[in-house]
Chains A and B, each alone.
Chain A
Amino acid sequence: MPIKSPFETDVAKAGHGEVILDLLPPSIPTLTTLTYKYPLKLLARTPGFVPRTSAQTCPSRPVHLYLLTYGGGLLPGDHIDVSITLKERTRMVVSTPQGSTKIFKTEPTASVKGQRGTPAHIATDMSRQMLDVRIDNEAAICYLPDPAVPYKDSRYEQAQTFTVDGTAPDSKRGSLCVLDWVTEGRSSRGETWDFHFWKGKNEVWSDDGSGSKKLLLRDSIILDDECDDAERDADNSHPNMIRERTHPHGIVGTLILYGPVYEKLASFILHRFTTQPRIGARNWSTSVSPAKSATESYSNTTNTNATWTAARVRAGFTLVKFGAPDFEAAKTWLGDLLREEGSVVREFGEEALICL
């Protein structure tokens, strides 16, 4: 498939990218559109993986899309805007092969031209990433990227919008699995939530085709140190509000599951959540059969580092929220959970879990 030069001018704007995945007869996934422009780079690949057992009848081969940025991160003022359309029955795995999305720092003095702390000033030096995904019926996306790592003094905003057809019956709906997680920064350099602003918003809208849209799910995390540059300059000992509000976690995140492809996974996670040991309960394990207690103690040891909750919220969505002391703990916990259940690997191949 032809890869266009990122410097070509027919692509509208810097940082914009567009992908349309269609299924050509009989069942050949084809990217009918793949455009991008600096600093964004998109690479696509169709591995030979064919789902053998699936929640859907005759599933198509998943296409892998790699989201890349020059330098593996976003500089102040960088805006990435990617639009993806998955036509009926297509499948896509989106991942970030460069590792975590680094959010580079905002120079406190360089960007100040006008008044300090004005919205215009904040808007220009904030890095931003927009992702807009349209999922047609029976299509599926698996988006398990590495976490965002906001460096000290950075500002970042991310909005991911997914649109599904709300009129489709349950078994024909599009499916999505989206992971959004953010770390405290470069902990090896002693950074603990030292950035200025991070906002991650994930929305799923239902579109009935006639143009009327309805919000199905909105998940939004705002980590804001709530002080302007003047306050920072005046007082270095300003309490770190983000650290206080995320304590005791070094990473927090959300996993959103929706649609028939992830139905089994959602049930598995919910079951695992509801059968977690009660908090504040006495340990009566002597009365439990040896085999059962062995599996339970196993799951206990693997789960101890992550604090998490799962709920079937509305319209068939399952929302998993978690916090962990560090990236490794969260990655291990989530990776083990997804591998143990097996749906993601079965439907998309082992490579879909590359970031976990």
Chain B
Amino acid sequence: MNTKNNTEDLEQEIADLESRLHNAKAQLASSHLAPRSAKPSSLSREPNGIPPSIPIHHALLLLSDSALPLGSFAYSSGLESYLAHNKPLPRSVTSIASFRRFLKLSIASLGSTSLPYVLNAYRYPETLETLDNDLDASTPCVVAQRASLAQGRALLGLWERAFRGSYGLYASSGSSMANGAGTAVNAVKALEDFLDALKSCFDHVDELGPKGHFSPLWGVVCFIMGMDLHQTAYVFMLNHAKAVLSAAVRASVMGPYQAQAILASKGLQEMIMQRIEREWDTNVEDAGQVVPPLDLWVGRHELLYSRIFNS
């Protein structure tokens, strides 16, 4: 990968994003202090004079929607197995505390294993097939593979049936905003090629052919839809947190309001931001599991006597 060439650009981009984040936070803080003093339009104005792209991104709302038909609700990412392996809880530990521990571990693990693939697919969409292969090679068990493939293929289906009409044309007409038009066209091409390769793979069984893992596809689709890299990463992590929390509600760990409280908490936001920052420059070669027991819990999901989730 031509990382060296892009390092300066990336550093520039990071600095830019950080300043934007800083500004946004400052604006948020001031709007909390004086909710009605400023006109709504001031929210979309950048203090340092850079014209904003779009204050709220349309694609962002689509992709962060929990109704996005990816089937994420069917997976607990190891939570169900974790609960079974830690039963009964010691008296000093509440079920909420135990869940918070799991959420923290799960987010850290997602950050170290999957997030580098999202980031790299976004930056280098043309490497999609390699990233897909490498992620498949790095997936340690069939349970995790199943979950990743089901959601990845759902996303491909969504692209094919829903997004392609708007974003495929849109990108190739050369009016992409955040990304250079040429690279957006290339990204669409990479995605379409991947789709074709995946389809032709169903005819003749090639065990090492394209698979359709979720993380790299997420990166490429978000790129095509004009999301910026930070948003792409943040929504990826947040959607995961949402899915785990939703699983927790259905597994009777907590009620829906408690789940929303965790989702809304500063702690969760900081945790996600911290993981993104940490893995921002991680090459996929250096991705790896930071929570070894999670592989055990996910792998041993198959041993559960009764299951309500697929992972």
Contact = CB atoms under 8 A, between A and B. Distances in A.
B290 A279 contact: no
B193 interface: no
Contacts of B84: 279-280
A221 B305 contact: no
Interface string A219-252: 1111110100000000000000000111111001
B287 A214 contact: no
Contact of A215 (B133, B141, B287, B291): B133
B1 interface: no
A282 to B, nearest CB: 8
B296 A311 contact: no
A323 B304 contact: no
A210 B85 CA distance: 48
Interface residues of A, number: 41
A91 B143 CA distance: 34
Nearest to B144: A311
Interface string B138-166: 11111101000000000000000000000
A41 interface: no
A307 interface: yes
B300 to A, nearest CB: 5
A321 B140 contact: yes
A244 B105 CA distance: 9
B138 A311 contact: no
B147 to A, nearest CB: 13
Nearest to B284: A218
B140 A219 contact: yes
Interface in B186-208: 207-208
Contacts of B137: 215-218, 314
A315 interface: yes
B208 A249 contact: no
A314 B292 contact: no
A293 to B, nearest CB: 18
A199 interface: yes
Interface in B285-301: 286-293, 295-296, 298-300
Contact of A313 (B141, B288, B302): B141
A311 B140 CA distance: 8
Contacts of A280: 84, 87, 304-306
B261 interface: no
B303 A220 contact: no
B208 A309 contact: no
B58 interface: no
B136 interface: yes
Nearest to A199: B288
Nearest to A309: B299
B288 A323 contact: no
Given A219-B138, A313-B142, A321-B140, A308 B303 contact: no
Contacts of B138: 217-220
Contacts of A279: 81, 84-85, 300, 303-305
A186 interface: no
Contacts of A312: 142
A323 B141 contact: no
A206 to B, nearest CB: 8
Nearest to B288: A220
B290 A245 contact: yes
A276 interface: yes
A288 interface: no
Which of B108, B142, B289, B305 counts the most A-chain CB atoms under 10 A from its CB? B289
Contacts of B286: 220
Contacts of B278: 226
A246 B295 CA distance: 11
A220 B289 contact: yes
B134 A218 contact: yes
Contacts of B287: 220
A292 interface: no
Nearest to A310: B299
B246 interface: no
Closest 7 CB pairs of A and B: A309-B299, A220-B288, A278-B305, A281-B305, A252-B292, A311-B141, A218-B138
5 contacts: A221-B292, A244-B105, A246-B291, A307-B85, A323-B292
